[in-house]
Structure 1
Amino acid sequence: MDSISSAERLPLLQVSDHELMALYAEGESAAFVQLVKKYKDPLVNFVNKIVHDYDAAVDIAQETFIRVHRNTNNYEAKASFSTWLYRIARNLAINELRRRKKRHFISLDQPMYDNSESSVKFELTAPEDQPDIRTEKVEMIKIVDTAISSLPRRYRIPLILRDMQGLAYEEVAKILSLPKGTVKSRINRARNILKQKLGPFMEV
């Protein structure tokens, strides 16, 4: 990893992800803190859309940053930092789903789905003195979240990365290790499915 001279070290807000990783590799902990601040919330939201459990998403995001920390010296800037980060998070999230599936087979008397509102409650910001608005927002979030959750995983994850996380098609393709054309096709398929499910509720 390239060395960053002291003259290039400030301010950290204007430093690229690659440079922040280089600084952290040299022992500047503030650089890693800056990366966590930048990506923590988007990463939690991304993982939550996969595992449908906000607390688990927070844990997975934390584990993702731990993996980044452990592999700092192995990081190479051939791909963007965000591509590397989201790939780690995506793999951890899928591993969590696989563990849940195994637990379900072991204990069939446990409910298969968590019916709590943990996957949506962090998005609810309607004022307490406007119950009608709050109720409408809760219902809309449930409708959209259910529709997205019902998508097959091969469609759901590319859609989340592109339309919710705002990543370019090229970056989504790198994260998922898929050809760009395949990514576009799956995202278009996901959008079409959502249009059919949501009708007038959502424009995609």
Structure 2
Amino acid sequence: MESAVITLQQKFGAQLHNIICKKVGHQDHCHDIMQEVYLKIMLHLPKVESATNTAAYLVRLTNNTVTDYFRKSKSLAEKDLSENLDTTDIVDSTEQSLQLADCCLKPMIESLPDIYRIALIKTELEGMKLKDYAQMAGISLSNAKVRVQRAKEKLKAIIQDCCTYEFDRYGNVVDCVKNSRGSCCK
């Protein structure tokens, strides 16, 4: 058994090593994967010896081992990331945002004219499809889209009149300062 593995290693070792190193790019990882390939060869030696094309069989085994290595590395990285996330900060931030939205946005939405308020509440807050809203309101789909768009524009104007916002380069709100001209948020 050992002599068969040594013969295979002498005959195909350099080729398999090159395949692994080209795909992995890191010498230490390349050696680790090569050891796994030799272990698989030893465990499945009868299959390797009975293969009609030994070189093709070993190349496929090597490629599969490299793929397994990347899968294992990815799942370990995801596990480490999920263990390091502190979800309490995310939950607290979300709860604060919902409280702010409830106390500030609700009166702003309520101040919209009826046709826009209803359109916005039905489609954006209640999740009704535009097609269903159009049918309920007795208007065409394009009119429903325009109505919801205008409702959003009017709400945006009310919000911007209330506060001055600072955005990061990705468009996320990073700061909000209440304007002196109104008491829109309590």
Q: Could you say which TM-score interval applies, normalised by the shorter chain?
A: 0.3 to 0.5
TM-score normalised by length of structure 2? 0.38
> 1 or 2, which has the higher helix percentage?
2
> 1 or 2, which has the higher strand percentage?
2
Larger radius of gyration: 2
* Structure of greater relative contact order (alpha carbons < 8 Å, 6+ residues apart): 1
TM-score normalised by length of structure 1? 0.35
